[in-house]
Amino acid sequence: MKLYQMGLAPNPRRLNMFLSEKGIEVPKVEVDTRKREQFDDAFIKINPMRQIPALELDDGTVLTESVAICHYFEGLHPEPNLLGRTPLEVATIMMWERRMEQHGIMPVADAFRNGNPFYEGQAVSGGRPLPQIPELAERGLARIDHFYELLDGFLEGKEWLATDRITLADITAFVAADFAKVVGKRPPENLPNLTRWYSAIKERPSAKA
Ligand SMILES: N[C@@H](CCC(=O)N[C@@H](CS)C(=O)NCC(=O)O)C(=O)O
């Protein structure tokens, strides 16, 4: 088994945090998107979407999409549980996970990809040539502010987003908030629920995975 990834990039990072929370170790192959290695012919054969993470199994099967890969490992190692033990828990965690992708990961990606000169002509992950849209960068920045307010409200009276323990939803939200520094939007310190939750995750060993 081999995990193609790059530790700094948000989608591989949430998978790495998930694996670390579970205590699973997988051999890793670094694909450096700063050097555009996702466009190397050898990697395109592994993932034609030209994205990381990608998990190659010993029989040659390749899984992509971080959440799908998380499901694979959760199935193999259900505990510690990060995706739910009952149908209601599974659905609740997925609801929060999707919210965190749409209102956290996406705005950060919009701001970063449409505002950073490195991505000129490659504004969408996977590298099909597409122009940057400066207004999308602006909107992404505004949405990040909103994301933080949403999170603070969601976390009122709760330790974790979805249930009584850390789940993939918290990991996705944390990775979005932590990566937002690349567009100058660190989590504000005047939102107490957000600050408490963010600091608690930051102290976990998985945050350094
Ligand atoms: N939906 C995919 C998104 C994967 C993705 O966008 N990965 C980024 C790194 S965070 C990437 O490979 N980018 C390639 C590029 O910049 O062209 C997932 O959840 O795994």
pLDDT tens digits, residue range 149-179? 999 999 999 999 999 999 999 999 999 999 9
By alpha-carbon position, which residue is closest to atom 1 of ligand 1?
65
- Percent of the chain, pLDDT > 70? 100
Centroid of ligand 1 to alpha carbon of 192 (angstroms)? 31
Whether the predicted pLDDT of 128 surpasses 90: no
47 lines ligand 1 (CB under 6 A): no
Nearest CA to ligand 1 atom 2: 65
DSSP reduced 3-state for 129: coil
* 33 within ligand 1 shell (Cβ under 6 A): yes
| Predicted pLDDT of residue 1 | 97
Mean pLDDT of the residues in the chain: 97
Alpha helices by DSSP H, 25-180: 41-46, 66-76, 87-100, 106-115, 134-154, 168-179
The response to whether residue 5 sits with its C-beta less than 6 Å from ligand 1 reads no
Q: How far is the CA of 96 from the centre of ligand 1 (A)?
A: 20
Write down the pTM of the prediction: 0.97
Residue with the smallest CA separation from ligand 1 atom 5 is: 51
Specify whether the CB–CB gap between 55 and 69 falls below 8 A: yes
What confidence score (pLDDT) does residue 43 get? 98
Q: Write the pLDDT tens digit of every residue in 16-25.
A: 999 999 999 9
Does residue 8 register a pLDDT over 90?
no
Determine whether the shortest distance from the Cβ of 52 to ligand 1 is under 6 A.
yes
Using a 6 Å cutoff on CB, does residue 125 contact ligand 1?
A: yes
Domains, the chain, ordered by start: 2-76 (3.40.30.10), 87-208 (1.20.1050.10)
Q: Which amino acid, 6?
A: M
Encode pLDDT of 75-87 as tens digits: 999 999 999 999 9
Residue 20 CA to ligand 1 centre (angstroms): 20
Sign of the CA dihedral 124, 185, 169, 161? negative
Residue whose CB lies within 8 A of the most ligand 1 atoms, among 4, 8, 11, for a mutation test: 11
Q: What is the CA radius of gyration of the chain?
A: 17
Task: Give the distance (Å) from ligand 1 centre to CA of residue 53.
Answer: 7
